[in-house]
Chains A and B, each alone.
Chain A
Amino acid sequence: EAGVVQSPRYKIIEKKQPVAFWCNPISGHNTLYWYLQNLGQGPELLIRYENEEAVDDSQLPKDRFSAERLKGVDSTLKIQPAELGDSAVYLCASSFHIPGQVNTGELFFGEGSRLTVL
C-alpha cells in the first residue's frame, strides 16, 4: 500500500516568488494535516482538513499561505510571496477519523518538502 506522497522533495526559490506543495494521502484517509518543521525543531500544525473542510487553520499565516483540498483527497499548500523565514520542511500527514468519535487514528507522514528561499 502506498504511503503519503509529497512533491516536490526539494524546492529552491528566490524571495517574493510563489511556491506550491502537493500531498496525496493514504487511500481512505479522511483527515489530512500540513505541518511546518523548522530546522532543529519539532513539527507544528499549520492546517487540518476533515474531508474537504479546513477545520483547524488557526496557525496558518493567511496573508501569504493558502491551502486547499479539493474533493477531499489531494491537497495543495501554497505560499505567495515566499519570504526568507519560510525556509523549512513542510510535512503532510493523513489519518482516518470516524466523525463524532475521539480522533485517535494513527498519523502517517510523508517525506516532506524542503523549501529553501534565497
Chain B
Amino acid sequence: AQTVTQSQPEMSVQEAETVTLSCTYDTSESDYYLFWYKQPPSRQMILVIRQEAYKQQNATENRFSVNFQKAAKSFSLKISDSQLGDAAMYFCAYRILYNQGGKLIFGQGTELSVKP
C-alpha cells in the first residue's frame, strides 16, 4: 500500500527567507503524481505544485519549487522569499494513477509559521 510521510509537524521561517518542507513516500508503482497542497485556516485545500513521476525536471511555480528524488522516494517543497500569507498547513500527497480512480493519499501535514 502507498504511504506518505511528513516528518516535520511544525516549521518556522523568517519573512523573506527560504524554507524547505520534507516529504517521503512509499510505492511500488512507477507512474504516479505528487502534489503539495496548502490549507490555510479557512480549511480550503489549495494546490501549490504538481510533479509527474515520469518527468525528471523538478516542477516550479513562482516562489515554490520541488526537489523530486524518485529513487529515494523523496519530494520536498522549497518556498523562497517567504511571505506572511504563506503561513498555513502544507500537505504532501500522492496520486494513484492506475486503479482506485486517481485516489489521493495525504501525509500528516506540516504547519508553517512565518515570522515578520
Contact = CB atoms under 8 A, between A and B. Distances in A.
Contact of A102 (B42, B43, B91, B97): B97
Contacts of A31: 101-102
B44 A55 contact: no
Contacts, number: 63
Given A40-B108, A42-B91, A105 B102 contact: yes
B98 A102 contact: yes
A112 B103 contact: no
Contact of B43 (A48, A89, A93): A89
A47 B65 CA distance: 31
Interface of B is mostly: mixed
Interface string A3-43: 10000000000000000000000000001010000001111
Interface string B17-40: 000000000000000010000000
Interface residues of B, number: 24
Interface size for chain A: under 10, 10 to 19, 20 to 34, or 35 or more residues?
20 to 34
Contacts of B75: none
A111 B44 contact: yes
Interface in B90-116: 91, 93, 95, 97-98, 100-104, 106-109
A48 B103 contact: yes
A102 B102 contact: yes
B84 interface: no
A45 interface: yes
Contacts of A43: 45, 91, 104, 106
Contacts of B95: 104
Interface of B: 4, 9, 33, 42-47, 50, 91, 93, 95, 97-98, 100-104, 106-109
